[in-house]
Chain A
Amino acid sequence: MATSSETVSETIAVPAKGKAQGEEYFTYVEGVGSIPRDIYKHVQSDPLGDLPRYSVHIVIQHLLIFITFLLLVFTGLPIYFSDVFWAPVVIAFFGGIDTARLIHRIAGFTMMFAAAYHVVTIVGGTLRKIYNHEFDYKRTQIPRLKDLYDLIHDLKYFIGIEPYRPKMEKFMYKQKLHYLAIIWGSLVLIAAGSALLFPDVMARLIPGTLGKLLPQGVIGEESYSAFFQSLARLMHADEAVMALIVVAFWHWSNVHLVPGRFPMQWTYLTGRITREHQIEEHFLEYLNSLREIPEEREYMRNLLEELEIESSHAMPPADRQASSAPQDVAVPEDKP
C-alpha cells in the first residue's frame, strides 16, 4: 500500500506536461482551501483597493515625483525644443525663461530629495525586516531568472497557448524593468543635470588627467572636461525625453487605460491594490496576504464554499495519501 501511494505521488510531482498544469490550477492554502488560479474572475473588488501594497512613505514619494516630474517636463522640454512654436508659450506661462529655469532647478532638487527619501525608506525597511527575520528577497524588486520565465509564460498566455497567467510575486517583470530603468535614469539625470548646472565645478572634478584613462583617439581634439560636458548635454536631454515618452505611453497606459485599471488605478493615493488585480498579476503575493491578513483568509474561505470548490484539490502529497484515491483522476479532467 505504501509503495503504491509513493508511485502515485511521484507521477504527480514529475508528470507529463498536461498533468503538471492541472496540478498548478489549484493552490492549496492551509485553513482556506484549494484556490483555483482563475479565482480573480469571481472575487469582489473595491476600485479603491482591498489589500495593502504600498506604505504611506511610498505614496508620498510617488506624489513628490509626480509633481516634480511634470514641472521638470514643462520647464525643461521647451528649452530643448526651443525653436518650436509652443516653447515660448509654455515658458511665458511660467513667467519667463529665467523663472522657468529656477523652477526647473527647484523641482530637480525636490525630486532628488524624493529619491533620497526613497532610498532611506527601502534600506531602513529592509534592515527592519532582516532584523525581524521577515525579509524575503522574492518580495522585492531584485530581478530574478523567474521574471524572464514569467514574461515568456505571459506572452504564451496572450497568444492563447497557456490557459492562465503566471504566478508572480509582489513585483512582476514589467515593474522590475521599469524600476531598474528609473534607477538608471535618475542617476544619469542627476549626474548630467549637475554637470549642466555647475559646469565650472564639473570641469574641476574631471581634469585632463582623469580622462586619460580612456583610450587615445576616442575623444578627439577636445579636452576631457569638454567631452564630459558634451556627454552631459546629450544624456540629460535624451534620458529626459526617454523618461517622458515611457511615462506618457507606457506608465499612464498601464495605470489608466488598460482593462481593469480604467479610468484610474487608485493605488498611488490609497496604497492599496484591488483583490482581483493582486490575484491575477501577483498571485504569490496574494498567498502572502492570505497568510498575513485573517480577514482575507476568512473572505476566501467563504468564497470557495460559496463556489462549492472542494478543498481536497491540489493538497500536498502527504495530505493526499490520506484523502480518497479518485482525487488524482479528477484533477486532469479540470484541464481546459
Chain B
Amino acid sequence: MKRDSALRAINKHIIICLALAGTLLPLFFGSPAKAADEYNCLMCHKHRLIGRIDENGKRWNYNVDEAIYNRSVHRKIECRDCHTNITKIPHDPITETVNCANQCHIKPPFAQEKFSHQKIIDLFNQSAHGIRSTDSEALKQAKPYCKFCHSNPLYYRISEERVAYAETLRRCFNCHPQSGVIQAYMHITHRLRKKTSRSSREIVQLCAKCHQDTALMKKLKVSATAQDAVETYNQSIHGKLVRLGSQKAANCISCHASSGLHDIYKKDDKRATIYKENLLKTCQQCHTTPTRWFVGIAVHPKAEHKENRLIFFMSIFLRLALYGAVLSMVGLMLFETFGRRRDGIKLVLRNGTTWRGQSKPGSKKGK
C-alpha cells in the first residue's frame, strides 16, 4: 500500500518532467532560417564549385551558401530585386553591376513605397566622394561607389553586437520619417538594433585603403594636409586608441560625417562637420565642454612638429637630455662599481659584511 503511493508519486514527477521537456525543448531547436528564394536561384548556386575562370585567368566564385546568406543583412531580399537584369533561367552572362538604388520588395514600416537605398545614395552623391561632371577622368575612376566600401559578399559572415537604443534611432532617421518610426522601432525587432557595421579599426583601415596611398592622393591633387591625413591620425591619441581596439575613441567618420555617415564634405563646404563653424558641435559628440580654443587643438598632429619650431626644438632637446642622462648615469654607476671593486668590495653581503678579506685598519690601510 505504502509502496504503491510512493510509485505513484514518482510517476507523477516523471510525467511532469516529460511534459516540461516536451514544451521547452522545441524552443532550443528553432527551425532553420530560410532565405528569400522565390525563383529557386539556389538550385544552381547552392553548388560549391559553381564558377568560372575569365579571360584574364581570374577565378569567380558564384556559390551562395544559404546558411551564411541567411545571416547577412540582405537575407530577406529576393535575388532578382538586386539582380534585375536576370529575367530567365538559366540566365545569360551578367554584364551589369548591381544598382543599390533599386526598389526591392520590402516595405519599410509606416511607408507606402518600396524600400530603396536611394536617399543615402543621393546624400552620398552630394558628398566629396560623389562623382561630378567637372571631375577629371582619373578622379572619376578613383572615387568609391557603394560596393567599394559595403563589401559584404554573400559568403561573408557579419558579427553582430548590440548597440545603444539612441544611436540606432539616430541612424533610422536617415531614411525613415520621424513620425511613426519610433513606435515601429519599439515594437519591431530591427536589424539596426545589432551592430552590423565595421568596428572603428576596420573603418580606419577602409578609409586608409585609398587615403593612405600617397601616390594616388598626389595624382588626384588633394590638399597637402589630406595627403598625410591617415598618417597624422594614426599618431593622434584617437588613432592610437582605435588601433588598440577602443570602441570609444573617434574614428574617421565620427568627425567627418554626421549620423548620415555618407555626408563627407571638404572642410571649406558649409555642410561639412569639420567646417570651422560646425567643429564645436562635432567635438561635442564626445567632449562635453569644448570652447572655441579647444577646437583649435590638432586632431591630426604631425610627429616632426616641423611647422612649430618651439615644439620641434624641445623634442630634440628632450631626446638629447634622455640620452645624456641615461649614458652619464649608467656610466657613473659602472665607474663607481669599478672603483669599489678595486677597493676590495664583494658582490653579496654575506656573514655580515661585503668587504671580506680586508686587513686591519690603522696598521696598513688602503690597497
- Residues of chain A having any CB pair with chain B under 8 Å: 25, 36, 38-47, 78-80, 82-83, 87-88, 91, 96-98, 101, 154-155, 157-160, 163, 174, 181, 196, 199-201, 203-204, 206-208, 218-227, 229-231, 233-235, 238-239, 241-242, 245-246, 249-250, 253-254, 258-260, 262-263, 274, 276, 307-310, 313, 334, 336
Q: Looking across the interface, which residue of chain B has its beta carbon closest to that of A174?
A: B332
**With A79-B244, A158-B336 given, can you name 14 additional A-B contacts, CB distance below 8 Å?**
A36-B365, A42-B360, A83-B234, A160-B339, A199-B297, A219-B308, A225-B297, A227-B308, A229-B297, A233-B301, A238-B315, A246-B325, A246-B329, A249-B330
**Residue of B307, B329, B349, B365 touching A274 (CB-CB under 8 A):** B349
Q: Name the distance in Å between B302's Cβ and chain A's nearest Cβ.
A: 9
Check if A45 sits within 8 Å of B353, measured CB to CB.
yes
Contact indicator A41/B315 (Cβ below 8 Å): no
CB <8 Å contact, B366 and A163: yes
* Chain B stretch 226-255: residues in CB contact (< 8 A) with chain A: 234, 237, 239-241, 243-248
Query: Is the C-beta of B348 less than 8 angstroms from some C-beta in chain A?
Result: yes
Q: Would B308 and A44 count as touching, CB distance under 8 A?
A: no
Closest to B344 in A: A41
Judged by a CB distance under 8 angstroms, whether B347 is at the interface is yes
Chain A contacts for B308, CB-based, 8 A? 219-220, 222, 227, 230
- Do A226 and B335 form a contact, CB below 8 Å, given A87-B244, A219-B308? no
* Contact present for A40 and B325 (CB under 8 Å): no
- Give the shortest distance, in Å, between B74 (CB) and chain A (any CB): 32
CB pair B339–A158 under 8 Å, yes or no, is yes
Asked whether B361 is an interface residue with its Cβ less than 8 Å from the other chain, the reply is yes
- Of residues 194 through 238 on chain B, the ones whose CB sits less than 8 Å from some CB of chain A are 234, 237
Q: Please report the C-alpha to C-alpha distance between residue A229 and residue B353 in the assembled complex, in whole angstroms.
A: 53
Residue B305 interfacial (CB < 8 Å):
yes
Complex CA–CA separation, A41 to B234 (angstroms): 58
Stretch touching chain A among B104-112, B126-134, B285-293: B285-293
Interface presence of B2 (CB below 8 A): no
A40 cross-chain contacts in B, Cβ below 8 A:
355
Known contacts A98-B246, A260-B354; decide if A47 and B349 are in contact (CB<8 Å).
Answer: yes
B293, B335, B338, B361: the one contacting A203 at CB < 8 Å is B293
Closest to B339 in A: A158
The number of residue pairs between A and B whose CB atoms lie closer than 8 Å in the complex comes to 207
B337 at the interface (CB under 8 A from A): yes
Other-chain residue from A174, A218, A246, A250 in contact with B310 (beta carbon distance below 8 A): A218
Shortest Cβ distance from A201 into B: residue: B289
Chain B positions 340-367 with a Cβ under 8 Å from a chain A Cβ: 340-342, 344-349, 352-355, 358, 360-362, 365-367
Q: Which residue of A lies closest to B244 (CB)?
A: A97
Number of residues of chain B lying within 8 A (CB) of chain A: 65
Would A44 and B297 be within 8 Å (CB), given that A231-B311, A249-B326 are in contact? no
Residue pair A245, B322 in contact (C-beta under 8 Å): yes
Contact check, A219 vs B352: say whether CB atoms are below 8 A apart.
no
The verdict on B60 contacting chain A, using a C-beta distance below 8 Å, is no
Residues of B within 8 A of A238 (CB): 315, 318-319, 322
Checking A41, A80, A204, A221 against B293 with a beta-carbon cut-off of 8 angstroms, the contacting residue is A204
What does the 1/0 interface line of B305-321 toward A look like (CB < 8 Å)?
10111110011001101
B317's nearest neighbour on chain A, judged by CB, is A238
Scan B19-33; emit 1 where CB is below 8 A from any A CB, else 0: 000000000000000
Which B residues fall within an 8 A CB radius of A? 234, 237, 239-241, 243-248, 287-291, 293-294, 296-298, 301, 305, 307-311, 314-315, 318-319, 321-322, 325-326, 329-330, 332-333, 335-342, 344-349, 352-355, 358, 360-362, 365-367
6 A-B pairs with least C-beta separation: A158-B339, A336-B366, A41-B355, A223-B296, A203-B294, A82-B240
User: What's the minimum C-beta distance from A332 to chain B, rounded to whole angstroms?
Assistant: 13
Q: Are B361 and A234 in contact (CB under 8 A)?
A: no
- 10 chain-A/chain-B pairs, Cβ below 8 angstroms: A41-B355, A163-B365, A203-B293, A230-B301, A231-B311, A260-B345, A263-B348, A309-B362, A313-B362, A334-B365
CA distance A239 to B158 in the complex (A): 43
In the assembled complex, how far is the CB of residue A296 from the closest CB belonging to chain B, in whole angstroms? 15
Q: Do residues B322 and A253 form an inter-chain contact, with CB atoms below 8 A?
A: no
Residue of A nearest to B246 (CB): A97
CA of A97 to CA of B247 in the docked complex: distance in angstroms? 9
**B240, B296, B309, B362: the one within 8 Å of A79 (CB):** B240
Decide if B333 touches A250 in the complex (CB within 8 Å). Answer: yes
Contacts of A196 in B (CB 8 A): 237
- The distance from the CB of B118 to the nearest CB of chain A, in whole angstroms, is 38
Closest chain B CB from A159 CB (angstroms): 7
**Is there contact, CB below 8 Å, between A160 and B342?**
yes
User: A276 and B353 in contact (CB under 8 A), knowing A234-B315, A241-B322, A242-B321?
Assistant: yes
Residues from chain B with a CB closer than 8 A to the CB of A225 are: 293-294, 296-297
Contact A259-B341, Cβ < 8 Å, known A233-B301, A250-B329, A253-B333: yes
Known A98-B248, A158-B339, A220-B307: A203·B290 in contact at CB below 8 Å: yes
Closest residue of chain A to B330 (Cβ to Cβ) is A249
Task: Out of A38, A46, A233, A241, name the residue touching B365 (CB < 8 Å).
Answer: A38
Asked whether A309 and B241 contact (CB < 8 A) given A225-B293, A238-B322, A336-B367, the answer is: no
